[in-house]
Amino acid sequence: MSSTLPAPIAEPATTSAPRSYEVRTFGCQMNVHDSERMSGLLEAAGYVKAPEGAEPDVVVFNTCAVRENADNRLYGHLGQLRPVKERHPGMQIAVGGCLAQKDRDTILAKAPWVDAVFGTHNVGALPALLERARHNDEAQLEILESLEVFPSTLPTKRDSVYSGWVSISVGCNNTCTFCIVPSLRGKERDRRPGEILAEVQALVDDGAIEVTLLGQNVNSYGVEFGDRLAFGKLLRACGQIEGLERVRFTSPHPAAFTDDVIDAMAETPNVMPQLHMPLQSGSDRILREMRRSYRSAKFLGILDRVRERIPHAAITTDIIVGFPGETEEDFQATLDVVERSRFSSAFTFQYSQRPGTPAATMAEQLPKAVVQERYERLIALQDRIAAEENAAQVGRTLEVMATAQPGRKAGETHRLSGRARDNRLVHFSVPEGAQAPRPGDLVTVTVTEAAAFHLIADPADPADYSLRRSRAGDAWDRSQADSCGVPAPGAGSTGRGVSLGMPALPVRGA
């Protein structure tokens, strides 16, 4: 631990007007979830979210350390803020997350205008560190080596009212040679099922109809209290929560993915026909070097069993290209598995050395040109498969939950956007004379066109379009009224929506 001073309870800001804040998030869903805690903590301490385009009094960076350019990206943003801070009296900058946990005092050495640095294990210290930095006129560094307070016990400011993430565990017990996450987030810690279900119920009570269960290796849930079937049981328990219409989870590990989870997915109506299953490599030799404790045959067997029980399941993945020592034969094995797997989408990465990981010191680090060429071949293959899989959706009737995020071309097309049950992105139009959905409402439409990264539904007439107004849409109305300080039309509750938006798949050409 870099600092042993206990964090005092933060007092609300005492300036004549509340200080404003902005949280900037880099990295994975876990980081987005942590950013909600940071926002909740700041608001509990008297700060207010800065309006769009305004210059905030406090900027918090929640960082990622997984990719090679994470450091450069952070210091680039910090450099841009230095002159802003010089002209903005009292402005503060804080850096937290995985890169802060890893680099510690390096951040203050490279960017001495930063006011506070905190790690992955002490998110709750953020308001106190900011207040201490203001009082002492000195930068504050506090890094803990282990988790003291489970993040889900902290105040939360969620970004969406219709869907939310619920963390079921933190940390990771695996030792993948390319991954720095276990050293930054620690060993796996599991929440008790009752605590998780209570949080899910609270989200539903506030209007959410969709929840994603979140963990570093979500399907190994239960290891801490000795129940290897706990995750499947948790999925089934979520199926008993009235009003919860969609349940998702991310990300599982193939080595721990068991048939009882597949059965729970198939037999629990509100568990969605969607699975994110990280492959990383299709080469058994490279999987051994990565310390991924499964082989390609096991991976493909899981996909086969999922599709046997859930025929319309959309399966996505993660793939790393250019791991040290990867030969053309190894890469071809990855292409072969991708071709057979028929992923609806893939997160593809070029291997990058991360100091502190075993892979960083392995021999045979590949030349950038070789990795780039293989990466482009993989992208071309996966884009073709995604386009073919989406083309097979044309003519299907889908239930789509409208979201608040429009497509990039929404201004030209006048289409709204949403997610199908299998999490595919759907851009749809509302027939003339038909009622438009609110975010969180559900529409039923027929797919009329398909691209590699999204589907399009343009109903020919109102008979091809149906709308189901939902509790989540009502919660959206309430949240908009709350933000404007006016009553919501038809709102029968004063509850405030508190849930978090769904993780987004890559959107290209939408």
Residues making up the annotated binding site for [4Fe-4S] cluster are 28, 64, 98, 172, 176, 179
DSSP state of 280: B
- Which regions of 322-380 does DSSP assign to beta strands (E)? 345-350
What 105-110 contacts at long range (C-beta under 8 Å, 24+ apart), as own/partner pairs, is 105/2, 105/141, 107/74, 108/139, 108/141, 110/75, 110/78
DSSP bridge pairs for 306: none
Rounded CA gap, 21 and 504, in Å?
A: 24
What is the C-alpha to C-alpha distance for residues 122 and 461, in angstroms, rounded to an integer? 54
Amino acid of residue 502: M
CB 190 within 8 A of CB 221: yes
Q: At what angle do helices 296-309 and 259-267 cross, to 10 degrees?
A: 20
Q: In one letter, which amino acid is 461?
A: D
Task: Find, among 146, 103, 106, 102, the residue nearest to 122 by Cα.
Answer: 146
Per-residue exposure over 459-494, b if at least 16 CB sit within 10 Å of its own CB, e if not: beeeebbebeebbbbbbbbbbbebeeeeebeebeee
- Examine residue 483 and say whether the peptide bond preceding it is cis (omega within 30 degrees of 0): no
DSSP string over 417-441? EEEETT--EEEE-PPTTSPPPPTT-
User: Maximum distance among all alpha carbons in the chain?
Assistant: 66
Nearest to 501 by CA among 231, 246, 312, 215: 246
Element (H, E) at 316: strand 314-321
Phi then psi for residue 345, to 5 deg, are: -165, 155
Asked if 164 and 210 count as a contact pair (C-beta separation under 8 A), the reply is yes
- CB neighbour list of residue 483: distance below 8 Å, 6 or more residues apart: none
Q: Are 469 and 459 in contact (CB under 8 A)?
A: no
Which residues fall in the annotated binding site? 28, 64, 98, 172, 176, 179
Q: Where are the beta strands (DSSP E) in 43-175?
A: 48-49, 58-63, 92-97, 116-118, 140-142, 163-167, 169-170
Decide the pairing of beta strands 92-97 and 274-276. unpaired
- Structure tokens of 94? 């804080």
Task: Say if residues 9 and 130 touch (Cβ distance below 8 Å).
Answer: no
Rounded to whole angstroms, the Cα distance separating 10 from 118 reads 15
The residue behind tokens 């044309």 is 394
* 3-class SS of residue 274: strand
Integer-rounded Cα Rg, in Å, for the chain is 23
